[in-house]
Amino acid sequence: MLNLAAGSTAGIAAVLIPQLTNDLGRNKFTTELESWVAAISCLALFFGNLMSGYLMERFGRRISLLFVSLFFLLGWCIIGFANNILHLVLFGRFITGICQGWLGPLGPVYVGEITTPIYRGFFLASLSLGIAVGVFLSHLFGTFLHWSYACQLCGLFPLTAGIILFFAPESPAWLASINRIDDCISSFQWFRGASPAMKLELEKMLAEQSKRDKSKSKFETLKENIKKPEFWKPLCIMVTFFAITQLSGVNVICAYSTDMMKKLMGKRAKDSHAYAAMLSIDVLRCVSLIIACILLRRSGRRPMSLFSGVFTSLSLLGLATYLYLVDKNIIHHISPFISLSLIAFYIVVSNMGISLLPWNMVGEVFAAETKGIGSGISVMMTSISFFATVKTAPAMFESIGHHGTYMFYGLSTTFGTLFLYFCLPETKDKTLLQIEEYFRYGKKRNTTEKDVIDI
Pick from 278, 220, 286: nearest CA to 254:
278
Residues 431, 432, 433, 436: is their CA dihedral positive or negative? Answer: positive
| Per-residue pLDDT at 4 | 95
> Tens-of-pLDDT digits for all 455 residues of the chain?
999 999 999 889 888 888 888 877 666 777 778 788 888 888 888 888 888 888 988 899 999 999 999 999 999 999 999 887 888 999 999 999 999 989 988 888 899 888 887 888 788 888 888 998 999 999 999 989 999 999 999 999 999 999 999 999 999 888 888 888 888 888 988 988 888 878 887 887 787 777 665 555 556 666 676 778 888 888 999 999 999 999 998 888 887 887 888 888 877 667 777 888 889 988 998 999 888 888 877 888 899 999 999 999 999 999 999 999 988 888 878 888 888 899 999 999 998 888 888 877 887 888 777 777 887 788 788 888 888 888 888 889 889 999 999 999 999 999 999 999 998 888 887 777 788 888 887 765 544 444 434 43
Distance CA 223, CA 133 (A): 40
Neighbouring residues of 158: CB distance < 8 A, sequence distance ≥ 6: 1, 2, 5, 68, 69, 70, 72, 73, 76, 99
Pick from 308, 319, 291: nearest CA to 241:
308
Share in percent of the chain as helix, strand, coil (round to 5): 80, 0, 20
pTM: 0.75
| Per-residue pLDDT at 391 | 85
| Per-residue pLDDT at 381 | 80
Neighbours of 124 (CB within 10 A): 25
Cβ distance 31 to 87 under 8 Å? no
Cβ distance 304 to 241 under 8 Å? no
Amino acid at 182: D
What class does CATH assign to 1-168?
Answer: mainly alpha
Counting beta carbons within 10 angstroms of the beta carbon of residue 157, is it exposed (0 to 12), middle (13 to 18) or buried (19 or more)? buried
Pick from 246, 113, 217: nearest CA to 170:
113
* Cα-to-chain-centroid distance, residue 259: 23
Distance CA 64, CA 69 (A): 9
Neighbouring residues of 38: CB distance < 8 A, sequence distance ≥ 6: 13, 17, 255, 256, 390, 391, 393
Distance CA 146, CA 224 (A): 53
Distance CA 302, CA 190 (A): 32
- The span from the first CA to the last CA of the chain, in angstroms, equals 40
Looking at the chain, the domain(s) classified CATH 1.20.1250.20 span 1-168, 228-442
Pick from 14, 3, 42: nearest CA to 360:
3
Neighbouring residues of 355: CB distance < 8 A, sequence distance ≥ 6: 128, 245, 248, 250, 308
CATH architecture of 228-442: Up-down Bundle (1.20)
Cβ distance 373 to 25 under 8 Å? no
Cβ distance 54 to 106 under 8 Å? no
Amino acid at 325: L
